[in-house]
Amino acid sequence: MLVVLKSQRIKDDSMAVQLLIFDLDDTLIRTGDLEQRFRGGRFLGRQPQQYVDDLRAAYSQNPGRVVYSAFDLTMLRARYLGVRIGVFTRSPRHYAEILLNLAYPGFAWDFLLAFEDTPQPKPSGDGIRRAMTGLNIPDPRNVWMVGDSPVDVRAAYDSGCQVILDTTTWPRPPTPRRRDDWNALERMPDAIISNAADLQSTLDSHVSYLPVAERLQQTACAPIPNRHPFARMEKFGAFDHEREKHDIHYLGRHFSTQAQHRAIWHQVTNDIHAMKNALVVPDYWVTAIGTFLQNLVRRNPNLVFDNSLVVTVVPAKPGRTRRLEAMLTQLSTVHAQRPMVNAGLSFTPDLMRYRDGVLSHHGEGLTRQQRIENVRNHLEVIAGSGYENKHVVVIDDVATTGASLIYARKYLMAAGAAQVTCLSLTKAINTQ
């Protein structure tokens, strides 16, 4: 009989919406053309009347500035009884007050936290924690930050609250995304929306926006809609000084100690820690990996006919517990009892190994570059181990730099694999 670790289930309905915190610039209001002229350190404190007049005149030149209307905010208050709604911005207070009065005349904000109001502005979560304390809202799971930039995501994670990335004001294709846009996406916010009208429905069903493993963990593997099941990130040439693109797929997030206020209640993070010395994984990981493999076969129908799909793992370092290899055995057992995919599928743990001399990424205090070099110089493919002309899925548990997966792909492809897909159970998330 297969034994699995039971993960603590967090009920979706236990997460009320008690506090909504909006970023100001390019979240509530389109201000891209205003920031250089009216925002910044030289405009801290009360400004002269000429500044006020000029800002009002510049604001009026664009009739489409307001993203979230006063009606939208009023409807949110009606939907979530007792919810407090405020603004947290890095902009000067006088600037923020002028814009909020122009865009939302008469609207009663519960608070405004501007640059001068907290000793640690965003990306610190200090302002969010101050708002929570002042409003007597202790549970960060009931607090939501809505913003358009990576500093909003980082501030939310630093405070421990949840975050919705609103891309309404981002450039639309064919205009390429900006560096900040990619940085925000890379931090894997709790949900991503592209229209202010979607905020309420997202709050109502936010679990369906989570990465697949987190959704399955929270719902005890219940089949609910999943909007963004597999996050995919692109890594570029820091590994080989080329502009080669490396895709890594993620099933969930692992919050680092830098995001301790979020990590403490994030069950998938805690489960990953519990799995460090475990030889079985919680059942939702088996379901999540099976779901990923089903999706992979749908996108590659040739796998149904040629028995060429191989699943392996990043090998354990010498002397370490072979926990990922044990997970592969668990997956193989489940697949034998109830096939995960309609394709020839083999679970093969020993396609690769680490040579003697490899260092631990956790115990040796390695820098990012040292981690990359450590993997590059010590990982090797075991010749003739069953990868030739196969589509290989390589699984890791936590991807920080992505070096283990990326070099696994490079070395397997060079050795004769037909294709390699990189899958990490989680992506390491911090507040930097």
**Residues of the chain whose pLDDT is less than 70?**
1-15, 224-243, 363-364
- Name the residue among 189, 119, 130 with its Cα closest to residue 154: 189
CA gap 400, 416 in Å, rounded: 27
pLDDT at position 368 is 86
Are residues 348 and 269 part of one domain? Answer: yes
Tell whether 170 and 39 lie within a shared domain.
Answer: yes
CA distance 284 to 122: 35
Do 325 and 394 belong to one domain? yes
Of the candidates 424, 422, 420, which has an alpha carbon nearest to the alpha carbon of residue 309? 420
Q: Give residue for tokens 């020993």.
A: 350
Are residues 26 and 170 located together in one domain of the fold?
yes
- pTM confidence score: 0.90
> So what's the pLDDT on residue 243?
59
Which candidate, 213, 218, 248, places its Cα nearest to that of 228? 213
Last residue of a domain, one of 145, 176, 209: 209
Structure-block tokens of residue 131 = 């708002």
Q: What is the CATH number of the domain that holds 303?
A: 3.40.50
Query: How many domains, in total, are found in the chain?
Result: 2
CB 134 within 8 A of CB 259: no
Judge if 44 and 160 occupy the same domain.
yes
Chain centre to alpha carbon of residue 378:
29
Tell me what pLDDT residue 296 has: 93
Segments forming the whole domain that contains residue 423: 231-429
Whole-angstrom distance, CA of residue 124 vs CA of residue 371: 27
Q: What share of the chain is helix, strand, coil (3-state, %, to 5)?
A: 40, 15, 40
Q: Does any domain span residue 2?
A: no
End-to-end CA distance of the chain: 44
Give the per-residue pLDDT at 307.
75
Query: Are residues 401 and 310 part of one domain?
Result: yes
CA distance 430 to 284: 24
